[in-house]
Amino acid sequence: MTDPVAAVTPVATQPPSTPVSPAASQSPLDVLDQILNDAQAKATEIAKNKEQEEALRIQQELERQKQEDQQRIEAELAKLQTIKETPEYQALVAQQQAAQQAQDQKSEDMQGKEILQLTHTKV
């Protein structure tokens, strides 16, 4: 008992056709050259990105340092203002003013008391 459907020989199937890629038409050296060029371009792009990130990081660090310096300056100025209010500083200022007044008084007292020599120059 032979089945008429089973007796039919199967039709040979062809493998599915693969699309022809541009690389298939190039020589292996051209393909390797293209891969190398792509890798170099990618490496250059990564290097540029790293440089930009580093520059940005440095800029942020400088900005942070600048803010810290400004805070320290403000703290030092506040400390100096409190020093001006201390009795020691006020005594020093009073001493300096008294010395300046004494010097001014001495030069005022000496005015008109110059000795004239024969050559008419002041001594």
Q: Is residue 54 part of a domain?
A: yes
Under DSSP, is residue 122 helix (H, G, I), strand (E, B) or coil? strand
Higher pLDDT, residue 79 or 16: 79
Please write the tens of the pLDDT for every residue from 19-37: 445 545 788 999 999 999 9
Average pLDDT over residues 74-87: 90
Q: Is residue 65 part of a domain?
A: yes
Please tell me the total count of domains within the chain: 1
Q: Is residue 6 part of a domain?
A: no
Q: Is residue 10 part of a domain?
A: no
Q: Is residue 69 part of a domain?
A: yes
Nearest to 101 by CA among 93, 90, 113, 111: 93
Q: Is residue 21 part of a domain?
A: no
Beta-ladder partners of 27: none
Full-model pTM: 0.41
Do the Cβ atoms of 114 and 123 come closer than 8 Å?
A: yes
Q: Is residue 51 part of a domain?
A: yes
Nearest to 73 by CA among 84, 85, 65, 61: 65
- Alpha-carbon distance of 108 to 113, in angstroms, equals 10
> 36: domain range?
26-103
Q: Is residue 119 part of a domain?
A: no
